[in-house]
Amino acid sequence: IYLIPIILLISIFLKTYQKTNFTNIYTGDNLAKDIISPLPQNTVLILSDDSFGFNTLYIQNALGIRSDVNIPGNHEGYRIILKNAGFPEEAVDKYTIQNQNKYNRQIFYNIFPKLISEYPVFTDYIIKDNVNSEEIISVPYGLVNQAMLTQNYNLKEEDYLENVENIVNSYHLEDL
């Protein structure tokens, strides 16, 4: 009589174990790969979401994937942003130490047009909500948005849809 519940529990465990075994599931890694893989070479990727940021930095630093993508943040002192703001190298070092690797939002948003004109810039948020400028737009690009100067935006609808389809087809959806 006591043996039946034990046998039942063991059989349920054996039957459902594969459905709960996540040892070979890399959702965070795949999310980061889906974010960073479709980006053009030498991109600046500005992330505010922790899930996007931590996972993307992990695959960059630990797995060596897409080291050409610059992700400004506390880990590297926002060097690319400060350099684009016109800070010389010594001033970048001094600013980084004085401000404990944090950046001034006003400096950041003031140099956005210059940064966009020199690099492809992508964010995980809509630029329009953060920059008081009519010259910058956000264009959805996979899981992120591309920040573009309005004057440089000339993408045709067919090309945009084809680009989106290619990005979505490259997603790592096998974990779902």
DSSP lists the bridge partners of residue 46 as 123
User: What is the DSSP pairing of strand 144-149 with strand 121-123?
Assistant: antiparallel
Say how far apart CA 118 and CA 137 lie, in whole Å: 16
Q: Per residue in 131-169, pLDDT tens? A: 555 678 888 899 999 988 888 788 888 888 898 888 888
In this prediction, residue 128 has a pLDDT band, given cuts at 50, 70 and 90, of: low
Model pTM above 0.85: no
